[in-house]
């Protein structure tokens, strides 16, 4: 079972069931794309044969296997943890908590009397431990891969962006029949304050002469995903504008530690 890292925002999306996809840079190909030349061509394609992927145009490259496994494989999730003193005692031992939702890390085990559980004391020198250093025994989320694709990041659809668990900046909008729709009865000014630029909402701006549509960011899930992608990958040189190939994984949550 291999590990996979998610930030705190995405951990919450997995826990509430809104995130069922993740995209990770296909590094072996991306590095060649960034080097320029034929690999950056628009007509360059990645094709699949069983569990292997390779290009089918230009100079040969690959084949490669997905580093996260194959369909049916399971992953354990790494997330950021931190330590703090529990309430009710100045000299109490610091305990370990998940950063995403501030819940206490609990280890479950079987003893002679049956299944038992215990909180985890914090023994690290730092106050927070990055997700990439979290031990498997602290994992509470486990995933099963249900589909693997390779695609350029900008090819993500609106439906797939929603499955990435990003926040759509409109509290009233719903994605129906391939487009965002807002029922007039659902409209509210608070939705615009969250960034809604839906057509129906824009009609209502006349009620607020001091507010302009330009004051609010775009609302689509794909644009929200672009922001998420760049927040993780831009500083690594894999920004949205580079349109690099990525591993697009679909998964289902198979359990949490209990």
Closest residue by Cα to residue 21 from 12, 30, 10: 10
Confidence grade of residue 65 (pLDDT, cut at 50, 70, 90): confident
* Predicted local distance difference test score (pLDDT) of residue 64: 82
- pLDDT value, residue 98: 96
pLDDT band at 49 (very low <50, low <70, confident <90, very high): low
Rounded Cα gap, residues 163 and 249, in angstroms: 11
Q: In this predicted structure, what is the pLDDT of residue 134?
A: 95
Residue 171: per-residue pLDDT: 42
pLDDT band, residue 227 (cuts 50/70/90): confident
CB 127 within 8 A of CB 85: no
Indicate the pairing of strand 95-98 with strand 81-84. Answer: antiparallel
- Tell whether the model's pLDDT for residue 51 goes beyond 70: no
**pTM of the predicted protein model:** 0.74
Report which DSSP code applies to 167.
P
C-alpha distance from residue 163 to each of 14, 101, 129, 248 (Å): 10, 21, 28, 11
Domain boundaries defined on the chain: 1-78+134-161+224-258, 81-129, 169-219
User: How many CB atoms are located within 10 Å of the residue 171 CB?
Assistant: 16
* Arithmetic mean of pLDDT, 82-92: 76
Asked if 26 contacts 45 with a C-beta cutoff of 8 angstroms, the reply is: no
Mention the CATH class of domain 1-78+134-161+224-258.
mainly beta
Of 151, 165, 158, 162, nearest to 247 (Cα)? Answer: 151
């Amino acid at each position: 079972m291999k590990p996979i890292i998610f930030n705190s925002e995405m951990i919450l999306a997995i826990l509430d069931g809104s995130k069922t996809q993740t995209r990770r840079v296909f590094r072996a190909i991306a590095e060649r794309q960034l080097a320029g030349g034929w690999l950056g061509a628009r007509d360059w394609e990645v094709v699949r044969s069983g569990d292997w992927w390779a290009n089918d145009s230009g100079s040969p490259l690959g084949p490669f296997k997905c580093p996260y496994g194959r369909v049916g494989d399971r992953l354990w999730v790494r997330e950021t943890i931190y330590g703090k003193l529990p309430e009710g005692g100045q000299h109490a031992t610091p305990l370990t908590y998940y950063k995403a939702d501030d819940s206490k890390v609990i280890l479950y085990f079987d003893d002679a009397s049956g299944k038992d559980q215990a909180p985890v004391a914090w023994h690290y020198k730092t106050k927070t431990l990055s997700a990439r250093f979290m031990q498997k025994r602290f994992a509470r989320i486990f995933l099963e891969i249900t589909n693997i694709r390779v695609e350029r990041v900008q090819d993500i659809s609106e439906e797939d962006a929603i499955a990435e668990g990003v926040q759509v900046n409109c509290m009233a909008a719903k994605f129906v029949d391939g487009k965002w729709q807002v029922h007039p009865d659902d409209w509210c000014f608070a939705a615009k304050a969250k960034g809604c630029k839906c057509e129906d909402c824009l009609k209502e701006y006349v009620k607020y002469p001091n507010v302009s549509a330009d004051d609010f960011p775009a609302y689509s899930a794909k644009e929200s995903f672009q922001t998420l992608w760049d927040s993780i990958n831009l500083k690594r040189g894999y920004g949205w504008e580079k349109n690099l190939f990525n591993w697009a994984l679909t998964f289902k949550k198979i359990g949490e530690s209990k």
